[in-house]
Amino acid sequence: MTYQVILPAAGQGKRMRAGKNKLLLELNEMPVLIHTLKVFEGDEACTGIILATHPQDEEEFRALLKKYLITKVINLVPGGEERQHSIYNALKTIETNGIILVHDAARPFIRKGHIHRLTETAEETGAAIIGVPAKDTMKRVQDGAVVETVERSSLWAVQTPQAFRISLLKEAYEKAERDYFLGTDDSSLVERLNVPVTIVEGDYDNIKLTTPEDLYFAEAILKKREKEFC
């Protein structure tokens, strides 16, 4: 089992309101970007990392890769206007077959065990995503009023990584481009090909650092992990 991974890292982090790319914020004195990269750098099944980078961050990212001895980044590609465009720029540089993972650089707490389960599932089925069952009661709301309560047992909160056969993901991106379809994750592009996507249960720690409160959750998760490893 091996895979390559695309890490979209070319956002602006506007909702974090840090005045810079949130991936450069530090947790335990190390940038979020490096926390995420280290998971893949340390995974023997990962054969290469493609990093989508905003031109304004490129120099700093390159310096960080050097400083933290990250060797698996095979390509830095320019990001696009939307996350989907950043990923497509990265996907176009891949010429091999096999399994590709797409993982938000802003999710530093992904575990190797889950990456492996996801990759194995994608090898069998072609498309697999990670997520967790919804915990809250969910309601559909329109103009400030509840329309209905949605049956929770069938709802999952979906995360990254998402794993696909490379040929399948390329086909999905080509179709999305033709149709001007913009999705919020990669699976939604693959679903449009009417291909079944398998869901693998992950864990609630795999948060995406999005708004300032998420930094408090991140500190707590790091503390918990330190206890696990000692």
Least Å distance, CB 214 to Mg ion, is 13
DSSP-based three-state secondary structure for 76: strand
Residue whose Cβ sits closest to ligand CTP: 11
Only one of the segments 103-111, 125-133, 147-155, 167-175 lies at the binding site for ligand CTP (rule: CB under 6 A); that segment is: 103-111
Task: Pick one of 35, 49, 79, 127: the residue that binds ligand CTP (CB under 6 A).
Answer: 79
Please state, in angstroms and rounded to a whole number, the distance separating the CA atoms of residues 1 and 123: 8
- Pairing state of beta strands 3-8 and 99-102? parallel
How far are the Cα atoms of 126, 151, 173 from residue 95, in angstroms, in the given order? 18, 42, 15
Q: Which is nearer to ligand CTP, 89 or 126 (CB)?
A: 89
Contact between 124 and 106 under an 8 Å Cβ cutoff? The reply is no
Tokens 């190390």 locate to: 30
Least Å distance, CB 105 to Mg ion, is 12
Least Å distance, CB 83 to Mg ion, is 6
Q: Which is nearer to ligand CTP, 10 or 100 (CB)?
A: 10
- Among candidate residues 120, 104, 111, the one with its CA nearest the CA of residue 184: 104
How far are the Cα atoms of 111, 127, 157 from residue 198, in angstroms, in the given order? 19, 6, 14
Phi, psi (5° rounding) for residue 79? -75, 170
Least Å distance, CB 139 to ligand CTP, is 24
The letter for the amino acid at 178 is: R
Please state, in angstroms and rounded to a whole number, the distance separating the CA atoms of residues 65 and 60: 9
Cβ atoms < 10 Å from Cβ of 142 = 8
13 forms part of the interface with ligand CTP (CB under 6 A): yes
Site track for ligand CTP across 143-182, x = CB under 6 A: ----------------------------------------
Task: Pick one of 12, 47, 75, 125: the residue that binds ligand CTP (CB under 6 A).
Answer: 12
Count of residues interacting with ligand CTP (CB under 6 A): 21
210 forms part of the interface with ligand CTP (CB under 6 A): yes
Considering only residues 9 to 48 of the shown chain, the ones binding Mg ion according to CB under 5 A are 11
Only one of the segments 55-63, 79-87, 125-133, 172-180 lies at the binding site for ligand CTP (rule: CB under 6 A); that segment is: 79-87
Please state, in angstroms and rounded to a whole number, the distance separating the CA atoms of residues 188 and 229: 36
Enumerate binding residues for Mg ion (CB under 5 A): 11
Binding residues for ligand CTP, rule: CB under 6 A, are 8-15, 22, 52, 79-83, 86, 104-106, 208, 210
